[in-house]
Structure 1
Amino acid sequence: MGAEIPAYGPYTLFGGFLFGYDSSNIGGVLSIAELYQALKLRGKAMSLATASNWFEPWCIAFCVPSPMSAPAPTLKRPRSPSPSSSLPPRPAPPAPAPAPAPAPPLASHYIQPPSHYIPPAAPPTPFQLPLHLTSFSYGPNRELLLGEEERDQALQVYSEPALGCDLNEGFEEAVWRDGGTDEGLDALLDGLLALSSRDPGPTSNTTQILLKNNVYTWRGMMTKLLLAVYEVENTALSQLGGGGGRGGEGWEMNGMVLDGALYLEDSSPPSKLASKAASESSNKLQSYYGYSFESFCTMPPSPPSSSTSGAAPPPPPTESAADGTGRTPNFSPPNTNIQYCSLVKTSLGPHRTILGGEVDCLSPRSGLAEGNPGRVKVQTSDFVELKTNLVIRGERDEWGFERNKLLKHYVQSFLLGVPLITVGFRTRQGILTGLQSFKTLEIPRLVRSKPHSWDPSALLASGNSLLSFIFKTLSNAPSTREWETKFASPPSSSSEQEWRDWPVFRISFTPAAAARGEPGVVVRELSGEEVQSEVLGAKREVEGGRVGFLKGSWVGEVRRRRGEARANANANASAEHRPPPPPPLPAAAAAAVPPRPAYGGTNGNGNGYKPMGGGGLQR
């Protein structure tokens, strides 16, 4: 017996509790996948039997709302004719030419409730510990620093700030990054090109990593993929009136598959960047608190020291006589152009992935912090993430922090291998009142038994499912397959510009649709006009042009690397197919062979043979 899915899709509210079910199992009685406390009735938690007396009955088995909940029809009163109705109508202005309609969706993806992805409902998804490959820095003028001696220039070391410091300090002197440019994946790929130039050759470790890798993106994009499952659930809570539920806004990404690898970037058309800049301008002080906290918490690495015990600890915070707030002497007004980024190798399920992400600072116990710059290898185990949050003053604040903020902090740090997150708690006026450090891998345990808990298994499995859907959809698109066939041919003498029209796709996530039981993620191919205006409209012009949204220099390196690998494989294959040498003669046959002179005959190459007893001839 089938059931009709109501407007609330895979979620329904019953007796003040939120239920989620597996929407792929709607025949017969549905399994109740999860139970969340969404509302507090009369100030305390209640059982289902008690709570059901306070709400309209719902049929949990089929998730069908009561007919009483249907809105009453509205009556429209006919309007009386006005005096002007007798006048001849004015000619309508000519309609503007309609904009070309976007291409229909290529494929769509359903996002299930979290329980669908948690064992034993689904097998656990493997995730490889991130390994730091290389790094790069952005300088004070947003210049990209890739050289061996300068790529760690923006790296900072953690120094604990004094409580009571004023995060408003330096606001007027801050330098703000120009948000009108879409940087895309340019810096990430330039960092990999620099790494490849330091470790060249078809058999080098870097070449092997890049040949086997099949996803390139920033950590922020992967964070969005993993958080989608709980963004849908939060949206369902918000729609149903659940306490603490916060509806998600969704996101859009651009994607393309080239040489069997998926590239994902944030969709940042000029209109979106302008809107974002206007929003940030009105909330600039709130954004500044995070940058100010980082400046209070960090200092440059110590200069090289001849002592084997390392550098001395940083001086203690001083007390400012001007306003009575504690300040660290290393504070300087933030320059948001400056960033230090790590590129790591990891994998989610079957997807070998290279992620790039900003690193706030290193642990003071790391090698670089002890005065050994350039001689100590940077490791993800030294990374520290810095965050700010309003002081938690009640249960609702705690709910929001643990359900939303801490969840996002966990995913961001987990993906890059950051082991420690330090959160500074501030007042609304920007005064730092508390510090708390969280070990990344222990965060899920902190929320496990709470009504607003979340499960990292659901994050990984749902993210893997979504990433697999995107990869498969883009790889199997007819346009991608056509261009991939051309790309696999031997390189021609022409430049990468022959590939500039490589197909680009838009991946859109709408949590409200997913909460209604509709497809939450939709993929469509962009037209050439959309690529030029929305994808490339805010990007920098680069030497060699672009292939889709990728730099032509990267695509040229991909073709060169693939060509070298193909030639190397062919050489190995031909070596493997050479005929084996003839077997040694039996002992009797060897004895019948007359001995060669001591100064010896040759085998045609001038190489002599010497008899080796009675066991046959050996070269």
Structure 2
Amino acid sequence: AKSYRRLEPRKGVAAPMAATRRVVSEQRWLTPLRVRLEPEADGAAPRASPYREPVELAHFSKTRKRGNEYDNSQLKRYLRPSLPCDLSEGYETFRDRDRGDSHPADVTPIFESLRRAGRGLDERELAAADVLTWRGNFAKVLATPWNTRDTWHMEAELVHGVTVLNVVEPEENVRREAKRQGHEARMCYWGFSFEEQCTGGSYDQPIDCLNSFCTVVRTGVGRHRLIMGGEVDCWDGERQGLAGYIELKTTRVMDSAPQVARFERDKLLKWWAQSFSTGVRRILVGFRDDSGAVLKLQTLETLKLPGYAARHPGAWDPKTALHFADRLLTWLRQHLDALAPGTRVRLEYEPRRANWEVRCAEPAAGTIRDFLPAEARAALARAAALRAASGVGTPSG
């Protein structure tokens, strides 16, 4: 089985945004955001959107039995597994999450973890923040300029100067997950099993995908300062915080040049977007065969992933990804600033139906359920008061 060779990164091209407006019966469609535009007429390179290195602010653990615990009890240490290892082991007792849940990631523990960190951390960080969300949302945005297949939706509300982005699964994704069975369902399990294999698991207890460790980081792109939560698979047992965290991934062994090309163009983009967003520096990959046996391990450095794709036409690159994320957050903030307080909107990117546009819908009042508990709104209100007292606005406000 062939692997792939390390290449040097190349620079990319980004583009500004465009606009139109239309109104549909029960909801208003606001000006969409063009994902891809022609290069600037004068040939000038697009401006860069710098990304601030993530800093860990807090962390918490999620469990099925006990809910959220604000400690590192679910952070597991990496232990190299013996090869080959069978990823189908334990499948019969696997405890999955509810795949019919269209809102699988509540933002509440992000707020609570900051509060429990003490020393007024929540108020200070929220006062300076522009956006709060989960890593998965931001990773989807980063990958959008090359996304020709995967639909994504998000919900958003501007609360006391902070844009809160909620995770929502489109109906078509929920239906597809519900139909998954047989070998396809088993393949989805293999990722969880690999985590168990790499953290000394013995399969004496059922693997539960709801048990996880999450980090909360401060970062930023362009003028936008972000607070993000993201799951962490394990740590190296030596370095503390982000420097020691490791992402675990599995993929099929590759035995042809086209397979390597698809891997570098598609899968590495998603892996980079996930790990780069929250500052995870290493990805341990288990290369498996079609039966789910891991035959080889390889560690990849997150910052070097763009170089692997650089030789392919239309390759993805960090500059384009970050510039698009900057544009999207600016575009969204402009819409939210123009709407009445408390208005919630839905972002939609549907590559099979849209003409390379991210659309923004303002549904009828009450259509999008309130995704922020009273405690989170109170924290944002206190942060806004602190911001006003200091005379400093949010980065994009």
SS in 1 for 2:290: coil
User: Percent of counterpart pairs with the same letter?
Assistant: 28
SS in 2 for 1:128: strand
Quick check: 1:275 aligned with 2:195? no
Quick check: 1:558 aligned with 2:384? no
Residue in structure 1 matched with residue 210 of structure 2 by the alignment: 337
Aligned 8 A contact 2:15 2:37 in 1: yes
Aligned 8 A contact 1:253 1:264 in 2: yes
Distance 1:257 1:524 in 2: 15
SS in 1 for 2:87: coil
Residue in structure 2 matched with residue 105 of structure 1 by the alignment: 29
Distance 2:100 2:385 in 1: 37
Residue in structure 2 matched with residue 503 of structure 1 by the alignment: 343
Distance 1:21 1:383 in 2: 30
Distance 1:23 1:259 in 2: 28
Distance 2:356 2:196 in 1: 43
Displacement of 1:409 in angstroms is 0.4
Superposed, which structure 2 residues align to 1:579-594 within 5 Å?
Answer: none
Displacement of 1:417 in angstroms is 0.3
Distance 2:117 2:35 in 1: 42
Counterpart of 2:115 (choices 196, 199, 202) is 196
Residue in structure 2 matched with residue 384 of structure 1 by the alignment: 246
Residue in structure 1 matched with residue 226 of structure 2 by the alignment: 353
Superposed, which structure 2 residues align to 1:515-526 within 5 Å?
Answer: 518=355, 520-526=357-363
Quick check: 1:260 aligned with 2:161? yes
Displacement of 1:279 in angstroms is 3.0
SS in 1 for 2:28: coil
Distance 2:295 2:204 in 1: 18
Displacement of 1:525 in angstroms is 0.5
Quick check: 1:138 aligned with 2:100? no
Give CA deviations for 1:283-342 in whole Å, capped at 9, x if unaligned: 32011111111100114xxxxxxxxxxxxxxxxxxxxxxxxxxxx758854211101111
SS in 1 for 2:61: strand
Give CA deviations for 1:341-385 in whole Å, capped at 9, x if unaligned: 11100001100000111100001323xxxxxxxxxxx41111100
Quick check: 1:172 aligned with 2:92? yes
Residue in structure 1 matched with residue 186 of structure 2 by the alignment: 285
Aligned 8 A contact 1:109 1:520 in 2: yes
Structure 2 letter corresponding to 1:121: A
What TM-score do the two structures reach when normalised by structure 2?
0.85
**Does the C-alpha gap of structure 1 residues 552 and 331 become closer, same or farther in structure 2, counting only changes over 3 Å?**
same
Residue in structure 2 matched with residue 470 of structure 1 by the alignment: 332
Displacement of 1:120 in angstroms is 5.0
Displacement of 1:395 in angstroms is 1.3
Structure 2 letter corresponding to 1:509: Y
Aligned 8 A contact 2:136 2:274 in 1: yes
Displacement of 1:194 in angstroms is 3.9
SS in 2 for 1:132: strand
Displacement of 1:177 in angstroms is 2.1
Distance 1:437 1:463 in 2: 27
Residue in structure 2 matched with residue 314 of structure 1 by the alignment: none
Displacement of 1:389 in angstroms is 0.5
**Does the C-alpha gap of structure 1 residues 274 and 418 become closer, same or farther in structure 2, counting only changes over 3 Å?**
closer
Displacement of 1:110 in angstroms is 1.0
Residue in structure 2 matched with residue 249 of structure 1 by the alignment: 150
Residue in structure 2 matched with residue 125 of structure 1 by the alignment: 49
Residue in structure 2 matched with residue 457 of structure 1 by the alignment: 319
Aligned 8 A contact 1:142 1:337 in 2: no
What TM-score do the two structures reach when normalised by structure 1?
0.56
**Does the C-alpha gap of structure 1 residues 297 and 194 become closer, same or farther in structure 2, counting only changes over 3 Å?**
closer
Displacement of 1:191 in angstroms is 3.5
Aligned 8 A contact 1:113 1:229 in 2: no
Task: List runs of 5+ in structure 2 lacking aligned partners.
Answer: 1-12, 19-23, 392-397
Distance 1:156 1:112 in 2: 41
Task: List runs of 5+ in structure 1 lacking aligned partners.
Answer: 1-19, 26-99, 236-247, 300-327, 367-377, 484-501, 537-547, 571-619
SS in 2 for 1:210: helix
